[in-house]
């Protein structure tokens, strides 16, 4: 069972004092063995909580098993398909994810996080996406875009105030950067934040905001100096209960249905000084550094979707008989399956190598965070198309998850 305590205990492993006993390697699967491995792995990075220790391969394998157990129990194909058809997020999922410990993978233990780092966060993202791309997208918008931005840039007071609820899953988080006129060119955003006594007043609209319709806490970027380009943007923590804040509409998307995406409106929303995230006019650094890690963790989404395509195509092609034998006995079918598997493994290697460099060396390579999501996303689309082809007519109906996987 993916209990919160068990995962937390795994994350809390600390080096043991070196003694004669500790130098004798215990059996490989025991907690003592994990502790033994952990003893040799202590790394520091400003992108991790203080005292962070990179998890070992065994820690990560154990975490993956626990996420898989959680998914088997909580995100069945029925839940995934209902979320897609209804285009509504199952909001009871938030406290369940919180109880399992998954909402604070990279956050401080003091505020309820697991402090396990980015490889671990990718594992949770991959396994949730394998079950439902849309539930996983909302998960990442909460746990990475919102929680991790607060973890990296929040003051101690801000973390104490906002993170426990977000990590427990009693509050829902989002991040609002994009606008209808400012997408790729995000720095051209037009939402303004005007200084007033005791805080700032925000005016403008934000588009495409994942979890926007449900959010309690939103990290918002706005122009504090509209004429200063990238040097005039500031990040704010906005309480969705603030007067003047609203969600104008929920978007009806092709895929990721049920990951609620909204257009947010700010009509003279007052944000107190103490809710400025990072430095005033220093929002672009917060935004750009955040984007690297967001791309990295989100690149695990397409990994899960590729695995999902294989999960559907492999048994189907072995069971479906034509011309007197399973279709998987044909070389062309085997070639497609081999391509799907190889693409998944290559993309997985890229994502996890990039995440390992962050956890073990504190190195964030912007080009690799972007490369990992570019590569994984394109390969996932190809795998989903192959999956549909391999299923023949069954790939074209909603009885099977193939079309949902392609749309996600
Ligand atoms: C499901 C979903 C969830 C999202 N969640 C969030 C969220 O939680 N928070 C948030 O802030 N945003 C979110 N976004 C917004 C997302 O970040 C933007 O969609 C993205 O930045 C692209 O912006 P755009 O849609 O305006 O496209 P545009 O920037 O208008 O791009 C349109 C096309 O032009 C191309 N293009 C643009 N500029 C160039 C150029 N210089 N050279 C060549 N080609 C170019 C693009 O590659 C694209 O193909 C989400 C989007 C989606 C679809």
Query: Which residue's entry shows tokens 């209808």?
Result: 180
Q: Which residues form ligand 1's pocket by a CB distance below 6 Å?
A: 141, 145, 175-178, 183-184, 208-210, 253, 256, 261
Q: What is the pLDDT of residue 137?
A: 98
Decide if pLDDT at 8 tops 90.
Answer: no
* Distance separating alpha carbons of residues 102 and 247, to the nearest angstrom: 27
At residue 19, does pLDDT exceed 60? no
At residue 182, what are phi and psi to the nearest 5 degrees?
Answer: -135, 90
Cα gap 401→397, rounded to integer Å: 8
**Paired strand residues for 262:** 209, 250
Q: Which fold has domain 4-171?
A: Butyryl-Coa Dehydrogenase, subunit A; domain 1 (1.10.540)
Report whether 317 contacts 332 (CB < 8 A): no
- Report the nearest atom of ligand 1 relative to the CA of 174: 8
The number of beta carbons lying within 10 Å of the beta carbon of residue 161 is: 18
Per CATH, the architecture of 175-287 is what? Answer: Beta Barrel (2.40)
Residues known to be catalytic: 294
The CATH number, out of the four listed (3.30.70.360, 3.40.50.880, 1.20.1300.10, 1.20.140.10), of the domain defined by the range 299-407:
1.20.140.10
DSSP annotation of 368 reads H
pLDDT digits (tens, 9 = 90+) for 88-136: 999 999 999 999 999 999 999 999 999 999 999 999 999 999 999 999 9
Domain ranges of the chain: 4-171, 175-287, 299-407
Structure confidence at residue 39 (pLDDT): 39
Q: Is the pLDDT of residue 330 over 50?
A: yes
Mean of the pLDDT values across residues 351-364?
Answer: 96
Question: What are the pLDDT digits (tens) for 130-175?
Answer: 999 999 999 999 999 999 999 999 999 999 999 999 999 999 999 9
Helical segments of 51-202, H only: 57-74, 77-86, 93-100, 118-131, 133-140, 149-153, 156-168
- Residue 129: closest CA among 385, 389, 375, 376: 376
CB 285 within 8 A of CB 278: yes
Distance separating alpha carbons of residues 201 and 105, to the nearest angstrom: 33
Residue with CA at minimum distance from ligand 1 atom 53: 208
């Amino acid at each position: 069972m993916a209990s919160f305590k068990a995962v937390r205990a795994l994350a809390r492993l600390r080096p043991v004092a070196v003694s004669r006993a500790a130098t004798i390697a215990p059996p490989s699967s025991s907690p003592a063995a994990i502790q033994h491995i952990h003893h040799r792995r202590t790394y520091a990075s400003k992108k991790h909580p203080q005292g962070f220790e990179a998890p070992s391969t065994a820690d990560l394998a154990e975490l993956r098993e626990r996420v898989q157990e959680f998914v088997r129990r909580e995100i069945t194909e029925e839940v995934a398909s209902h979320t897609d058809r209804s285009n509504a997020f199952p909001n009871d999922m938030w406290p369940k994810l919180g109880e399992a410990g998954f909402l604070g993978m990279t956050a401080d233990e003091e505020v309820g996080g697991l402090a396990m780092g980015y490889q671990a966060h990718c594992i949770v993202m991959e396994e949730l996406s394998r079950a439902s791309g849309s539930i996983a997208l909302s998960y990442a918008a909460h746990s990475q875009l919102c929680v991790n931005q607060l973890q990296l840039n929040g003051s101690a007071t801000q973390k104490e105030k906002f993170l426990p609820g977000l990590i427990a899953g009693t509050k829902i988080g989002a991040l609002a950067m994009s606008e209808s006129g400012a997408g790729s060119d995000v720095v051209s955003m037009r939402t303004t934040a005007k200084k007033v006594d005791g805080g700032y007043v925000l005016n403008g609209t934000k588009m495409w905001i994942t979890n926007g319709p449900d959010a309690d806490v939103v990290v918002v970027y706005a122009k504090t100096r509209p004429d200063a380009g990238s040097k005039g943007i500031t990040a704010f923590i906005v309480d969705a209960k603030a007067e003047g804040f609203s969600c104008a509409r929920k978007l009806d998307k092709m895929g990721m249905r049920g990951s609620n995406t909204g257009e947010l409106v700010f009509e003279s929303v007052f944000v107190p000084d103490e809710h400025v995230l990072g430095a005033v006019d220093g929002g672009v650094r917060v935004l750009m550094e955040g984007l690297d890690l967001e791309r990295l963790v989100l690149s695990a989404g397409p990994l899960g979707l590729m695995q999902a395509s294989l999960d559907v195509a492999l048994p189907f092609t072995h069971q479906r008989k034509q011309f007197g034998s399973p279709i998987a006995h044909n070389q062309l079918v085997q070639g497609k399956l081999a391509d799907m598997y190889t693409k998944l493994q290559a993309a997985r290697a890229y994502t996890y190598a990039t995440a390992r460099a962050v956890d073990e060396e504190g190195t964030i390579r912007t080009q690799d965070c972007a490369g990992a999501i570019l590569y994984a996303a394109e390969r996932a689309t190809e795998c989903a198309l192959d999956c549909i082809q391999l299923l023949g007519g069954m790939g074209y109906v909603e009885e099977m998850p193939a079309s949902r996987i392609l749309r996600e």
